[in-house]
Amino acid sequence: MDPARGYADRSDVDLVASLRDGDTDALAELSERHSPATYRLALHILADPGWAEEIAQDVMVRLWRKPEMYDPARGELRRWLLSVTHHAAIDGLRGRRGTARASSAGPDALDGLRIDDPEPPERAWQRLQAQSVREALRQLPAAQREALELAYYKGYSQSEIAQSTGQPLGTVKTRLRQGLRKLKDSLIQVGVTES
């Protein structure tokens, strides 16, 4: 039997269990399955291909070093990896804002650290916008909300959403289109966006 083929047939849970025994082939298979999605999500957040690749690799290294961090009883491995990726990318953005500017621009760099930070009124407006989006999402039918959350918060492609939810691709596309239309209409009504 071809060992590589045997890994492709194993579930994520079985492969994570093999990581606990130091099985590098299990890591390679998990990376092949999930690194494209973690990379896409990191790239979406960071808008930097090199940095996104670094985050995606770091997430797999975390899984390799501490496979017990993933609890199958709490959900699918893919969702857990995307959650870890999301947090790592956001943390990376927060950490890089000050340190990169300060180290690259010399002693006067500290004078410019607040330039990109929103002023208090702008921060309040951003919080209001975010709250309005969350409320508009809550008002959507569950199927449309799920499709939008998988696409925009988890980084799933339309075909990945179809596979994850067990719905036909055409149904997923329709739900996304209708959900976005309803979301936009709701946000126009509360003045968060323009028509």
**pLDDT tens by residue, 83-103:** 899 888 888 877 765 344 334
Confidence band for 112, pLDDT divided at 50, 70 and 90: very low
**pLDDT tens by residue, 130-172:** 777 788 888 999 999 999 888 877 778 889 899 989 999 999 9
Q: What is the DSSP string of 28-56?
A: HHHHHHHHHHHHHHHHHHH--HHHHHHHH
User: What mean pLDDT is predicted for residues 1-25?
Assistant: 79
CA distance 111 to 113: 6
pTM for this prediction: 0.49
Going from the N-terminus, what domains does the chain have, and what CATH number goes with each?
Answer: 1-107 (1.10.1740.10), 119-189 (1.10.10.10)
Of 16-25, 109-118, 124-133, the range with the lowest mean pLDDT is 109-118
When computed from its CA atoms, the radius of gyration of the chain, rounded to whole angstroms, is 20
Among residues 188, 174, 152, 155, the alpha carbon closest in space to that of 37 is found at 155
Long-range contact list for 120-128, CB < 8 A, 24+ apart? Answer: 128/192
Query: What number of CA atoms fall less than 13 Å from residue 73's CA on the CB side?
Result: 1
